[in-house]
Amino acid sequence: ARTAAVIPAAGRGVRLGPGAPKALRTLGGTPMLIHAVRALAASRAVSLVVVVAPPDGAVEVKSLLAAHALPERTDFVVVPGGASRQESVRLGLDALPPEYDVVLVHDAARPLVPVDTVDAVIEAVRDGAPAVVPALPPSDTVKEVTPAAAPGAPEPVVATPDRSRLRAVQTPQGFDRQVLTRAHAEVTENVTDDASMVEQLGLTVVVVPGHEEAFKVTRPLDLVLAEAVLARRRL
Ligand code: CTP
Ligand code: MG
């Protein structure tokens, strides 16, 4: 089985606040996207990384990849992304050569995922699961509410799902390539992760243990945490 990784990196990063597109912001002096590319290319199973760049940033991303040390055994392709994460992933899948039969989809916004998590996802796909997601039990109790019409207004609670049955999902998510391609062709509803599209096809998605360091950089405080994790690694 040949394995490729698609890295959607085309988002603006609105929740992080004003500045460059999120994937191009630096952590420890290196763009977040480069950390994410290195994290996936660190797996010996990954022989191709497709980076989905901001729509007008493909040239800049290509020169960033050329300017940073990356494993020789890995090929890199850059394509421009779209208006939604879902569209960006589909554009990345369209760029995959036919010989790849396992595909990982990994957020550029999760720059610090450990290689052991990447390898565990790949192994579960190679063992026959059509879709695999790394996830952790949530540390907070989660409530379902009726969302407020106005921001900040009190929101009535509808239910409190049993926390022991909940998992907070991360990336890389791993797929049988044909399954994910079909999901992206057939599911039109907007979703926030790729595995849920496979669920909509009626196929079983399995969860494997995620990792704390695979957290997503979403808000400014996440940058503080990411810098601290990097500094700890460099000790
Ligand atoms: N992404 C993408 N194309 C989009 C939107 C998002 O490739 N049109 C990517 C982001 O670059 C990121 C990943 O999807 O690596 C996860 O998305 P998220 O964390 O929501 O990033 P942004 O959409 O950039 O952030 P925000 O929602 O705060 O604007
Ligand atoms: Mg987003």
Distance 106 CA to ligand 2 centre (A): 14
In CATH terms, 3-233 corresponds, of 3.90.550.10, 3.30.70.990, 3.40.50.10800, 3.40.50.720, to 3.90.550.10
- Asked whether 14 and 20 are in contact (CB, 8 A), the reply is no
Question: Could you tell me the pTM of the whole model?
Answer: 0.97
**Ligand in nearest proximity to the CA of 222:** 1
pLDDT digits (tens, 9 = 90+) for 175-185: 999 999 999 99
pLDDT digits (tens, 9 = 90+) for 73-132: 999 999 999 999 999 999 999 999 999 999 999 999 999 999 999 999 999 999 999 999
Ligand 1 mutation target, pool 85, 90, 113, most atoms within 8 A of CB:
85
- Asked whether 125 and 174 are in contact (CB, 8 A), the reply is yes
**Ligand in nearest proximity to the CA of 23:** 1
Ligand 1 mutation target, pool 22, 27, 86, most atoms within 8 A of CB:
22
Percent of the chain with pLDDT over 90: 96
Residue spans of the domains in the chain: they are: 3-233
